[in-house]
């Protein structure tokens, strides 16, 4: 390690050995492809393609959920945020974790009993099919698209650091390669293949982070307090602040409260998370999935706390900031400091696998919604055969994959955390109110659902467009650029970075007003839905071979 | 599923089940458990968020070595999340599932 370190400092374009990084990643791709091909021999029925035949166990699905949820933003973003902003980065991970209790207590099991393949199945169950399905599908596509862009943009930044590919053309090629592999997983493997990729990735990610955590703690005598102390000292000696003080990253209290609301309420409205509950045979297994997911995600975030402070001490803030991937490079740089080229190669391969697995999950969700909600219900009036639906879903996955590649190329250099927080805010504003009203409020009806979905969606996006994240932030004296998306213009009038504090309550209020101003009520469908949601009578069963 | 159900609800078995005392008992048992628990963990989470933004000096105070109040409260959020998860899962396995299962059997099993 020390032999390489001196040559490393001048050549900041790359860390470690790109050949090893690519080699380990290629190995991951080959192994997962073999498993996907093996696992997906019979993927013709819609239940196989969309829901993996509902044959995964709660434990398998829980691991896959962790693989789906621990995205590049979670792993690289949070570790980096803790390394640079200490306590404030930690706050982020707590919102992401506590959010799972909403899914566990209020959503997962009932949704599993009521729905079939998509979020729209549940939302439109007792309401007027056509308009509600279209609204739910649009919201699914928008949330998935922003989440997808964030992951693809993250891939580009990672490439710069790990493979030494710095030119724009090289990064675009890598995004395209990642996109093409992902499209193959989804089209060929369907939900079954996607799930296995997520399971393998989650296991690798958690083991990798666990090994690094023990390693870091070992360097500080297994004493968290001394790790924190030395990290803080290192940060202050480097001209930084006391990492243990709140408020380094979030200066405006209202902005932080807004973000916290979006984080804690967004998870249970993310369509790609909800769709995972259909891959298990019963609501009991859906519960088991969430229990596994909460333990794995929680333990992983505890690891990131150690990794972040470890990076602050062992790598140092200035080296992180000057690395090509900036804040996102804290975890890979720490891996290099600890275990040299090999550990860096493993961790980078895991980071790529992370992006691949999350993007595959998003693509299958969006393609299922396009085919099952838009094509079958709206275009074909519910008459499409399952074979036809799956064929359309595969074509949709191909098109969406292509859009993701192009979008990822344009999103290069965008702030990943901002895009993910936007997806969470939209999910919490447009999806969660309708999910909860639909499951728990007898009186709820079509107008309430439409007002809530469209109102939440439009208000969240509008507030984002006119927020400082898009335009008008003061120019940073160090980088000579504005942290906003657009440079040189300023049309912002909304003061906050995250719209949640306005758009989430608005989604709930509009759902309420829309409902009470409409007389529609379908007693028979409500009875069917409520009995089914609580007892499981009539719920979709697993397919058998 | 995609077609609207008829308005005729008198002899609908789902409506009969929904109106039965045992189903009302199942529903209220479920809601009495999950609603207060949801209110509790949301209040506890937002208390932590508010303390972090409005009581920065307190949260930044070192208690044990370099461990601050903020870190302790943050780690307690992890603990409370794990505890609530296991508490709910245990309750649902023991108290809720057998009752829900009994009603599903009454309706003729899980499948239509």
ipTM: 0.90
State whether A225 and B81 contact (CB < 8 Å): no
Note the pLDDT tens digit of each residue in A235-290.
888 777 788 888 787 778 898 899 999 999 999 999 999 999 999 999 999 999 99
Write out residues 78-137 of A within 8 Å (CB-CB) of B: 87, 90-91, 94-95, 97-98, 100-102, 104-106, 109, 116, 125, 128-129
Q: What is the mean predicted confidence (pLDDT) over A360-365?
A: 92
- How many structural domains are present in chain B? 1
pLDDT of A10 strictly over 90: no
Closest A-chain CA to B29: A534
Tokens of A208: 């990798």
State whether A246 and B17 contact (CB < 8 Å): no
Could you tell me the pLDDT band of residue B9, with boundaries at 50, 70 and 90? low
Q: What is the mean predicted confidence (pLDDT) over A89-95?
A: 89
| A536: nearest CB among B6, B15, B104 | B104
Number of A/B CB contacts below 8 angstroms equals 187
| Neighbour count for residue A62 (Cβ, 10 Å) | 28
Distance CA A150, CA A144 (A): 10
Residues 6+ apart with CB under 8 A from B58: B51, B69
Q: Does A42 touch chain B (CB under 8 A)?
A: no
Q: Check: CB of residue A91 under 8 Å from CB of residue B46.
A: no
- For residue A86, give how far its alpha carbon lies from the nearest alpha carbon of chain B (Å): 10
State whether A538 and B6 contact (CB < 8 Å): no
Q: Which of A6-20, A151-165, A170-184, A460-474 has the highest mean pLDDT?
A: A460-474
State whether A225 and B64 contact (CB < 8 Å): yes
Domain residue extents for chain A: 15-36+47-535
pLDDT for A2: 37
State whether A527 and B41 contact (CB < 8 Å): no
Q: Whole domain around residue B72: which residue ranges? A: 14-106
| A253: nearest CB among B27, B54, B59 | B54
Distance CA A387, CA A322 (A): 52
- For residue A56, give how far its alpha carbon lies from the nearest alpha carbon of chain B (Å): 18
pTM for this prediction: 0.91
| B34: nearest CB among A105, A301, A538 | A105
Q: What is the mean predicted confidence (pLDDT) over A429-445?
A: 95
pLDDT for B2: 42
pLDDT for A449: 96
- For residue B20, give how far its alpha carbon lies from the nearest alpha carbon of chain A (Å): 11
pLDDT of A428 strictly over 60: yes
The gap from C-alpha A221 to its chain's centroid, in whole angstroms, comes to: 35
User: Which of B50, B66, B93, B99 to probe by mutation at the A interface, max A CB count within 10 Å?
Assistant: B66
State whether B54 and A225 contact (CB < 8 Å): no
Distance CA B25, CA B33 (A): 12
Chain A residues whose CB is inside 8 A of the B112 CB are 537-538
* Inside any domain, residue B1: no
Q: Which of A113-127, A405-419, A503-517, B70-84 has the lowest mean pLDDT?
A: A405-419
User: Could you give the angle at which helices B69-91 and B21-54 cross, rounded to 10 degrees?
Assistant: 170
* Inside any domain, residue B4: no
pLDDT of A232 strictly over 70: yes
Average pLDDT, chain A: 86
State whether B71 and A97 contact (CB < 8 Å): no
| B5: nearest CB among A94, A95, A524 | A524
Note the pLDDT tens digit of each residue in A306-351.
999 999 888 888 788 777 667 778 888 899 889 888 888 888 888 8
Query: Is the domain A15-36+47-535 a CATH 1.20.1730.10 member?
Result: yes
Question: DSSP assignment of chain B, as one string?
Answer: --SPPPS--TT-HHHHHHHSHHHHHHHHHHHHHHHHHHHHHHHHHHHHHHHHHH-HHHHT-EEETTEEHHHHHHHHHHHHHHHHHHHHHHHIIIIIHHHHHHHHHHTTSS--
């Amino acid at each position: 390690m020390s032999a390489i370190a001196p040559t490393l400092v001048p050549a900041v374009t790359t860390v470690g050995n790109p050949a090893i990084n690519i080699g380990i990643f290629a190995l991951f791709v080959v192994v997962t492809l073999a498993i996907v091909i093996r696992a997906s021999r019979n993927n013709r029925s819609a239940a196989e393609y969309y829901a993996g035949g509902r044959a995964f166990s709660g434990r398998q699905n829980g691991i896959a959920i962790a693989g789906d949820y621990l995205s590049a933003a979670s792993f690289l973003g949070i570790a980096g945020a803790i390394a640079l902003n200490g306590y404030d980065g930690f706050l982020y991970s707590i919102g992401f974790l506590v959010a799972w209790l909403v899914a566990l207590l209020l959503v997962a099991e009932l949704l599993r009993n009521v729905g079939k393949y998509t979020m729209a199945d549940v939302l439109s169950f007792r309401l007027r099919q056509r308009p509600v399905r279209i609204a739910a599908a649009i919201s699914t596509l928008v949330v998935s698209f922003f989440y997808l862009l964030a992951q693809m943009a993250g891939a580009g930044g990672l490439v710069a650091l790990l493979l030494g590919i710095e030119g724009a053309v090289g990064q675009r090629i890598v995004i395209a390669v990642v996109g093409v592999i992902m499209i193959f997983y989804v089209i060929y493997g369907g939900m079954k293949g996607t799930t296995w990729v997520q399971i393998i990735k989650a296991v690798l990610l958690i083991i990798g982070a666990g090994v690094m955590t023990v390693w870091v703690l070992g360097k500080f005598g297994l004493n968290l307090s001394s790790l924190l102390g030395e990290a803080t000292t290192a940060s202050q000696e480097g001209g930084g602040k006391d990492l243990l003080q709140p408020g380094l990253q979030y200066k405006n209290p209202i902005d932080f409260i807004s973000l916290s609301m979006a984080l804690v309420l967004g998870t249970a409205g993310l369509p790609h998370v909800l769709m995972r509950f259909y891959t298990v045979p019963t609501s009991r297994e859906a519960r088991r999935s969430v229990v596994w997911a909460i333990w794995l995600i929680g333990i992983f975030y505890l690891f990131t706390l150690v990794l972040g402070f470890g990076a602050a001490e062992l790598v140092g803030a200035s080296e992180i900031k000057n690395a090509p991937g900036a804040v996102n490079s804290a975890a890979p740089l720490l891996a290099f400091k600890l275990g040299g080229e090999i550990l860096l190669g493993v961790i980078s391969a895991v980071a790529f696998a992370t992006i691949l697995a999350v993007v595959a999950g998003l693509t299958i969700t969006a393609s299922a919604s396009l085919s099952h909600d838009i094509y079958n219900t709206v275009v074909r009036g519910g008459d499409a055969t399952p074979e036809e639906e799956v064929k359309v879903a595969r074509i949709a996955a191909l098109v969406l994959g292509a859009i993701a590649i192009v979008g990822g190329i344009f999103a290069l250099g965008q702030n990943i955390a901002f895009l993910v927080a936007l997806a969470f805010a939209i999910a919490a504003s447009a999806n969660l109110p309708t999910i909860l009203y639909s499951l728990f409020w007898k009186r709820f009806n079509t107008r309430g659902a439409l007002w809530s979905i469209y109102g939440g969606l439009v208000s969240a996006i509008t507030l984002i467009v006119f927020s400082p994240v898009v335009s008008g932030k003061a120019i940073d004296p160090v980088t000579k650029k504005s942290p906003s998306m657009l440079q040189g213009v300023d049309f912002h009038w909304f003061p906050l970075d995250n719209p949640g504090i306005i758009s989430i309550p608005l989604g709930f209020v509009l759902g309420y007003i829309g409902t009470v101003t409409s007389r529609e009520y379908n007693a028979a469908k409500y009875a069917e839905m409520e009995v089914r949601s609580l007892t499981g009578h009539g719920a979709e069963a697993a397919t058998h071979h | 599923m995609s077609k609207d159900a008829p308005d005729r609800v008198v002899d609908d078995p789902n409506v009969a089940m929904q109106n039965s005392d045992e189903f009302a008992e199942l529903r209220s048992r479920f809601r009495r458990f999950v609603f207060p628990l949801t209110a509790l963990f949301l209040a506890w989470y937002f208390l932590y968020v508010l303390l972090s933004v409005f009581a920065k000096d307190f949260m930044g105070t070192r208690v044990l070595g370099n461990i601050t109040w903020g870190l302790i409260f943050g780690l307690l959020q992890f603990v409370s999340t794990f505890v609530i998860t296991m508490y709910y899962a245990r309750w649902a396995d023991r108290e809720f599932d057998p009752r829900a299962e009994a009603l599903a059997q009454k309706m003729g099993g899980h499948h239509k």
